Amino acid sequence: MHRWGAAAFVAASLVGGVLLPAVPATAVHGAVPGDFNGDGYRDAVLPAPGANVSGKEGAGAVVVLYGSASGLSASRRKTITQNTAGVPGAGEAGDAFGAATATADLNRDGYADLVVGTPYEDTSKGTDSGAVTVLWGSRSGLTSGTDLPSPSSSPWHYGQDVAALGLGAGAKTRVVVAGGDATVNFGGPFSRTGKFGSAVYNDDTASPLSVALGDLNGDGVPDPASTTDRLSDLSGGEVYTNPAYGDALKGNGLIVASGDVNGDGYADLVAGDPDEPEKAGVDGATGGRVLVWYGSAAGITTATTPVQITQNTAGVPGASEKDDNFGGSLAVADLNRDGLADIVIGSPFEDLAKSRAGQVTVVPGRASGALGTGSYSFSQDTAGVPGAAETDDFFGTTVSVGDVDKDGRPELFVGAAGENNSTGAVWVFPGGSARPTATGSRVITPKAVGLTQQWGTMLGGDGLLSVI
């Protein structure tokens, strides 16, 4: 994995043969839409970790687009930075505010709250120690924030990934944070004054990269899961549900997400492993893969064998080709409203008519039988999708799902960090009768939401691009 310092913002990095601005955010998740103002409509979250703020390059911003019966409008928005009144800190060059985001009603007041990672924030604990901020929902939307501090005396890149899940009062609502040195698992009750119930610091696994929360054993309490950075001669990193050295699950990956894929009442763990295998037939798969561990009353243990999905899996569009990076982004959500969570998989380096144009594949959940049947994909070359696939767009850099017009049909959000000189863009695919559809899809550009810099905004987030 690349390690960036704040000074790197004056340079550029080479990713897949294209010069990208060296926004150092190694975070991998973006928030699902949440109803931040309590009007009954979920609001979309568009991170822009490379946004310049008051002349500070790469300070970072988050754009909230308010949902409505008519969907999203760029005119109904709020742009939040560390210079926004009520938000802790101040926008500084290279902070990457918004590098990771997560949504949940943490204080259970009926308004969704937004958790924001700023992994390159300089604090009294050190340079690039990082910060995590909770922006509290209210009738007026996100108007104030408090920090979730790391218990560590010397954190590093704290906030490079965040996950949040509310399943009930007290400890049934949790936030988990990844930093370069450790994970921190916060339990409720949370309050908008900044108080929380507990904070468990865990540095028993090296170099955490991605985190997720899901009720893997059905006890009503969110269980944390994590991946590490690449630690050995295997592709990807190690995957944990019990973050203790030696307890890595079978399989590996760089990004995790959770949802009930088979509808048995237990959340399942899904990992994206976009790396090429170091040892053919031993770890990884050509072009990348996704692994699924099914939850149970015993949770997920080191004895649990995952199911593997690749582009060569029956029913999955395309074919496994070297360096596709299938599994480079990931979301788990019920898109077809059958009660089973579907797996949304980004392949940001997928070659189409142009190299590394990118593609997104949806694998429907199944109560029985092999995963893969009924899968479908979107790219900028799909009929009805705005724009066209271009070299190094990296369509599928990030993915998320949420219903923003309250019609019961979730929208699919897809980011492409390389679009238009790495200013980025986000595509919105409206929910259809059985799945999201390209018909009526739209693209949201930085300019449309008031971000006018000419390069490096990375609207939608840069996901794993600085890693893969």
> According to the model, what pLDDT value does residue 31 have?
83
Contact 255, 464 (CB under 8 A): yes
Angle CA(354)–CA(359)–CA(361) in degrees, nearest 5? Answer: 155
**Nearest of 385, 428, 435, 384 to residue 409 by alpha carbon:** 435
Residue 33 confidence (pLDDT) = 96
Look at residue 281 in the predicted model and tell me its pLDDT: 73
| Full-model pTM | 0.94
pLDDT in tens, the chain (468 residues): 222 232 222 223 334 434 333 333 445 677 899 999 999 999 999 999 999 999 999 999 999 999 999 999 999 999 999 999 999 999 999 999 999 999 999 999 999 999 999 999 999 999 999 999 999 999 999 999 999 999 999 999 999 999 999 999 999 999 999 999 999 999 999 999 999 999 999 999 889 999 999 999 999 999 999 999 987 677 889 999 987 777 999 999 999 999 999 999 999 999 999 999 988 777 899 999 999 999 999 999 999 999 999 999 999 999 999 999 999 999 999 999 999 999 999 999 999 999 999 999 999 999 999 999 999 999 999 999 999 999 999 999 999 999 999 999 999 999 999 999 999 999 999 999 999 999 999 999 999 999 999 999 999 999 999 888
Distance CA 249, CA 243 (A): 10
- Give Cβ neighbours of residue 72 (< 8 Å, ≥ 6 apart): 44, 65, 66, 404, 428, 444
Give the pLDDT confidence score for residue 205 in this predicted structure. 86
Quick one: pLDDT at residue 28? 62
- Residue 234: the pLDDT is 75
pLDDT at 137: 98
Q: What is the DSSP string of 200-246?
A: EEE-SSSSEEEEEEE-SSSSSS-EEEEEE---SSSSSEEEESS-STT
Q: How much is the pLDDT for 287?
A: 97
